[in-house]
Structure 1
Amino acid sequence: MENWRNVVLACVLSLLVLFGWPIVANHFFPPANPPATKIVKGKSVPLPAPGATPAADAPAAIRAREVVLKDSPRIAIDTPRLRGSINLRGARIDDLVLATYRETIAKDSPPVRLLSPSGTADAYFAAFGFAGDGVTTPNDQTLWQTQDSLLAPGKPVTLTWRNDQGQLFTIKLSVDENYLFTIEQSVANLSGNAISVRPWSLVSRTGHSKDPSTWTAHTGPIGTFNGATNYDVNFANLDGQEPGFFARIGGTTAKAGTNSFSSKGGWLGFTDKYWLTTIIPDPAKTIDANFRKGEGDRYQADFSAAPVIVPQNRVARSTSHFFAGAKEVTVLDAYKKNQGFANFDRAIDWGWFIWFEKPIFNVLDWLFKLVGNFGVAIILLTCIVRGLMFPIAQKQFASMAAMRAVQPKMKELQEKHKDDKQKLQQELLALYQKEKVNPLAGCLPILLQIPIFYALYKVLMLTIEMRHQPFVAWIKDLSAPDPMTPLNLFGLLDFTPPGFLAIGVLPILLGITMWLQFKLNPTATDPVQQQVFSIMPWIFMFIMAPFAAGLQLYWTVSNLLTIAQQKWLYSRHPTLRAQAGKA
């Protein structure tokens, strides 16, 4: 009867984990990238990216954008990483694609479009201008003049506009080899009176990010103010909703509606999982910054500097920057170091454990550059981790052998004091001290694996360096789940299983290797533990199925190395090996 109760309890706990985990995971952990491929008749077929910019051969979308682009004169943008144009009406950077990134893994996939002009379905742009009291300043309909025809590295563009009061406004734009624009704004006061002006910059976008914002990966409004990066403001706040429970207990600074900040330096803008647009003021100047909701589905991040008095026949100047591009780790780090952009590396939501996650990324990135394949790099990283933990594994197995040796004495104590739990605990503690064994020593390798596993999870989820990285055969994207599942006979049947049941080859291998690993361990004395350990590998097979293939690969290889370690260490601990053989 007792055994049946234990079996039922183990089954109930397993079901709670199996069905409760998706609810917890959806709240705290962002899902893997959408599948990059679909297995059709055993072959990988590229899939379109959900919500991505329509392909170049989609007439309806192209006509709409081309019509808008022809509405006003433009200056071309051409760099190694960016293509697009500047709108001379309103001095906007509103047409930008990332030349080195594609929407999907298909060879003919169009480049990722980041910015689109106002009037298109996904309007997203940056604008720069001036405000003042008692002076006519340029607005969003102002047509700026220029003698330049191309913005490229080493080839800046100068825009000018003169009002009828004797002021000349100038915006000089330059761009580097990556994703950073430099904006130099100046006002020449050629009138007979002093004027007060202040420069401003803004980023405007239509709609929410297509990447969901979760507890561990923020998307949406983002900024650094007075040296602290703010992940608290989100689209829901700007829509007028109060912060949720988890935000409130975290001490959030967000509020419903417009969120305003006064800061010395810093930066602000909008982030997606992989892409970032942000305006960056002079680090030495104090600014007023805002996240706000505009008309319809428009959102805006903006800042303005303090008003400047410009005497007659004098010029006032200010410099700011605009970043629009991919959140590449080395690029963000370089801008933080060389340009002095505070916490710019925090545009990637590393979280509290950045001190551990970035070294894991650096090792993985170094291995990738060494071997040229991220899957092989993950395998090598797993070997390094297991190698570093090998001395701990030796102690773990020695402790397991010692625990097995004292099992008969423990059973005697359990029989002797079965009606006195307190006395039993005291006697067991005394036995552990006498025999110099630690029942918790076997948990240490597992506990040490948790931060490494979580760090790799964050790297796979957030770093663009992992996006669309293939491994072998059918695995074309290590940041997406394994697409090869036997539930549709590896693509031979024309249906796609739901995410919860789409168990790929790697999750199956993970479950099998975990089962083999548990089989090599000494059998637990507690019947409930025995039942849990027998079911756990297959539960984890379901739990890990929606995660990134790179994470599944890491865990599977780690299990294989653990099995090899166990085989070798059993040869050094005959007592433990004999017990495993009996099991």
Structure 2
Amino acid sequence: MDTKNILTAIILSTIIIVGWQVLVIDPEIKKEQAKVEKTIQTKPTAGKPSAPSLNKKIQVQKKKVSRQEALLTDQRVKLDNAKITGSISLVGALIDDVTLKNYQESLDENSKQVVILNPKKINKGYYLESGWASANNINVPDNNSVWKLTRNRTLTPRTPIELEWDNQNGLVFTKKIEVDDQYLFSITESIKNNSKANVDLFHYSQITRKEKPQVQDFYILHEGLVGVIDETLQEEDYDDVKDKNQKYQGTSGWLGITDKYWLTAIVPQKKQAFNAEFIYDTAYKANYILTNPTSIPSGKINSSSSQFFIGAKEVKTIDGYAESANINKFDLAIDWGWFYFFTKPLFFIIDYLYNFSGNFGWAIVLLTAGIRILFFPLANYSFASMAKMKALQPEIARMKDLYKDDKQKIQTEMMGLYRKEKINPVSGCLPMLIQIPFFFAIYKMLFVTLEMRHAPFFGWIQDLSAPDPTSLFNLFGLIPWDPPSFLMIGVWPILMGVSMWIQQKLNPAPTDPIQAKIFAFFPLFLTVMLASFPSGLVVYWTVNNVLTMAQQYVIIRKTTIKTV
């Protein structure tokens, strides 16, 4: 078996896999196409209502309204805790104004804080609501009803608020809203029945987003509608939901809309059956309605509850809610991917090394060194075989010249020589095979985890989740010119390419001309391609190359001495 063919196959496979993630993005192809919008309404079954807000088309604003104007239009209750600030509109009791205190839009010190939710009156309206639906035309509050504040003027972890709405027909609706010191809201909704008739109502919650945001069209990351229904993760892209509504049934789980780093989610009351939807009807919506009604006998009070998550997808926070709030598989809100069992533990290792070193960049370097130490014996065996193969290159060249008209004879003699010298030609593939899983796991971790966002290394690397900002084509900033994105080939990608080229020189040289060209082109190809990857990933690959070369050089020196 020719090790060059094996290595070539592995390299080409790597190119295809990595290239697919980067190049099959097609943002130009996936432009919004003009479609005839249809009003898609949920069809209620006998005795089962559709919540009034769930199927109502949002009125298109004829006049463009700014966010600030919209916030000043309605009466509001202030919201404030350690991590978020904003307000709740008394019109509809909508949570529609949330800003993150600890995150900015960019690295600029004057950059604005990240805004998650917006009032429904603006084009980028994005808000959460909850309430009641009736199968018997009972007057219930909707997202235009004006509520009265009856307790506290500011929502904080220590001061929950209470809102009230009277339908003037004997039903008084009360909404108690609580928030913890992070991102979780708890809503308890009660109904006092002062009428003479028993009443059955169905509780619901809904997230509405009027516009599709700018998303990164990487298949490695899901952005759009997401949820867990019972034990099954459901992920739907915006375009897919726009084409076809999705309906589910379950007894546990959560539903939401996710961005790369931010999430809104609604969690039904525990141990209650519900019908859920991802729909589009002039706005994107994730909602549920309980299957069984809440019965309120005459003269009695009854209630239902739900939880809202509105905030940043911090790993420890998300995992904490999955456990402390008993939200089923809430940790899947972070898109760890198919290799969840590998990528997530790797994050915790990086996080531990970060706490040890104080810098995520150095944590990546320490992780790389740890991986090299872990696989040191296996790599040693592989490099010893490759060094022996390199030492045998003159003998192999002599065989090819001697039997140049008989390829079968060449293969037979080469395999005999390998057996004689106890060389396994396939073992040379092991370093590549070892590196690939860690490469993709680190790539995924850098790409999806909020903790890596805006994490600095040193010097010009101020964000390990972003590409190296320097470029060879303006002499790394010496020339006052901003190259186009495809010419942004920075210092670290170049160091990575050079280290790979040097590493190639330590390996047996390909004797086949085609293979030699592929190998010669590979460092340049990866330099250009990885220039657009997160700089943390390029740091990992570069450091790994340097450590690999050091180990390989020592093995080659020892092997060369023995074969002289």
Answering whether residue 457 of structure 2 is matched by residue 471 of structure 1, we say yes
- Report 1:149-548 matches (<5 A): 149-231=153-235, 233-240=236-243, 257-295=244-282, 298-306=283-291, 307-404=293-390, 407=393, 410=396, 414=400, 421=407, 425=411, 428-429=414-415, 431-548=417-534
| AA aligned opposite 1:66 | Q
- CA separation of 1:492/1:425 partners in 2, compared to 1, >3 Å: closer, same or farther? closer
- CA separation of 1:102/1:66 partners in 2, compared to 1, >3 Å: closer, same or farther? same
In the TM superposition, residue 541 of structure 1 has moved relative to its aligned partner by 1.0
Aligned to 1:247: none
In the TM superposition, residue 71 of structure 1 has moved relative to its aligned partner by 1.6
Alpha carbons 2:123, 2:211 under 8 Å: kept: no
Alpha carbons 1:94, 1:126 under 8 Å: kept: yes
Report Cα offsets for 1:121-170 as digits up to 9, x if no partner. Answer: 32110011111133211112211112320111122111111222211211
Q: RMSD between aligned alpha carbons?
A: 2.8
Secondary structure of 2:91's match?
Answer: coil
| AA aligned opposite 1:322 | F
2: distance between equivalents of 1:260 and 1:19?
36
Report Cα offsets for 1:509-541 as digits up to 9, x if no partner. Answer: 111111111122232333333332222212211
Aligned to 2:106: 104
In the TM superposition, residue 268 of structure 1 has moved relative to its aligned partner by 0.9
Report Cα offsets for 1:162-185 as digits up to 9, x if no partner. Answer: 222211211111111111111112
| AA aligned opposite 2:288 | F
In the TM superposition, residue 330 of structure 1 has moved relative to its aligned partner by 0.8
Alpha carbons 2:387, 2:556 under 8 Å: kept: no
Report Cα offsets for 1:35-80 as digits up to 9, x if no partner. Answer: xxxxxxxxxxxxxxxxxxxxxxxxxxx9822221122211111100
2: distance between equivalents of 1:180 and 1:174?
8
- CA separation of 1:25/1:392 partners in 2, compared to 1, >3 Å: closer, same or farther? same
Aligned to 1:124: 126
| AA aligned opposite 2:75 | P
Aligned to 1:33: none
Secondary structure of 1:94's match?
Answer: strand
- CA separation of 1:361/1:510 partners in 2, compared to 1, >3 Å: closer, same or farther? same
1: distance between equivalents of 2:532 and 2:259?
21
Report Cα offsets for 1:477-508 as digits up to 9, x if no partner. Answer: 11111111121232343432222221111111
Aligned to 2:4: none
Alpha carbons 2:126, 2:209 under 8 Å: kept: yes
Alpha carbons 1:210, 1:272 under 8 Å: kept: no
2: distance between equivalents of 1:88 and 1:460?
40
Alpha carbons 2:21, 2:219 under 8 Å: kept: no
Greater shift in the superposed pair: 114-123 or 399-408:
399-408
- CA separation of 1:376/1:16 partners in 2, compared to 1, >3 Å: closer, same or farther? closer
Aligned to 1:51: none
2: distance between equivalents of 1:290 and 1:149?
34
Greater shift in the superposed pair: 433-442 or 472-481:
433-442
| AA aligned opposite 1:273 | K
- CA separation of 1:174/1:24 partners in 2, compared to 1, >3 Å: closer, same or farther? closer
Alpha carbons 1:401, 1:575 under 8 Å: kept: no
2: distance between equivalents of 1:329 and 1:100?
15
In the TM superposition, residue 228 of structure 1 has moved relative to its aligned partner by 1.1
Secondary structure of 2:485's match?
Answer: coil
| AA aligned opposite 2:165 | W
- Report 1:137-156 matches (<5 A): 137-147=140-150, 148-156=152-160
Aligned to 1:581: none
Alpha carbons 1:282, 1:319 under 8 Å: kept: yes
In the TM superposition, residue 362 of structure 1 has moved relative to its aligned partner by 0.7
In the TM superposition, residue 338 of structure 1 has moved relative to its aligned partner by 1.6
Alpha carbons 1:29, 1:216 under 8 Å: kept: no
Alpha carbons 1:69, 1:117 under 8 Å: kept: yes
- Give unmatched runs, 5+ long, in structure 1: 1-9, 31-61, 241-256, 579-583
Aligned to 1:251: none
In the TM superposition, residue 380 of structure 1 has moved relative to its aligned partner by 1.2
2: distance between equivalents of 1:23 and 1:196?
53
In the TM superposition, residue 272 of structure 1 has moved relative to its aligned partner by 0.5
Task: Report % sequence identity.
Answer: 40
Greater shift in the superposed pair: 112-121 or 521-530:
521-530
Alpha carbons 1:228, 1:343 under 8 Å: kept: no
- CA separation of 1:331/1:64 partners in 2, compared to 1, >3 Å: closer, same or farther? same
Secondary structure of 2:486's match?
Answer: coil
In the TM superposition, residue 20 of structure 1 has moved relative to its aligned partner by 12
1: distance between equivalents of 2:80 and 2:90?
16
TM-score w.r.t. length of structure 1: 0.83
Report Cα offsets for 1:385-409 as digits up to 9, x if no partner. Answer: 1111211121012212343465566
In the TM superposition, residue 573 of structure 1 has moved relative to its aligned partner by 1.9
Aligned to 2:538: 552
Report Cα offsets for 1:421-456 as digits up to 9, x if no partner. Answer: 556555655554454321010111210111111011
- CA separation of 1:573/1:413 partners in 2, compared to 1, >3 Å: closer, same or farther? closer
1: distance between equivalents of 2:217 and 2:498?
33
User: Which structure's relative contact order is higher, taking Cα pairs within 8 Å and 6+ residues apart?
Assistant: 1
In the TM superposition, residue 224 of structure 1 has moved relative to its aligned partner by 0.8
Aligned to 1:69: 71
Secondary structure of 2:425's match?
Answer: coil
Greater shift in the superposed pair: 454-463 or 210-219:
210-219
- CA separation of 1:132/1:177 partners in 2, compared to 1, >3 Å: closer, same or farther? same
In the TM superposition, residue 369 of structure 1 has moved relative to its aligned partner by 1.6
- CA separation of 1:152/1:326 partners in 2, compared to 1, >3 Å: closer, same or farther? same
In the alignment of these two chains, the number of paired residues is: 517
- Give unmatched runs, 5+ long, in structure 2: 1-7, 28-63
Aligned to 1:37: none
- CA separation of 1:577/1:81 partners in 2, compared to 1, >3 Å: closer, same or farther? farther
| AA aligned opposite 1:266 | G
Alpha carbons 1:209, 1:220 under 8 Å: kept: no
Alpha carbons 2:249, 2:274 under 8 Å: kept: yes
Aligned to 1:26: 23
Alpha carbons 2:471, 2:477 under 8 Å: kept: yes
1: distance between equivalents of 2:465 and 2:344?
17
- CA separation of 1:420/1:492 partners in 2, compared to 1, >3 Å: closer, same or farther? closer
Secondary structure of 2:149's match?
Answer: coil
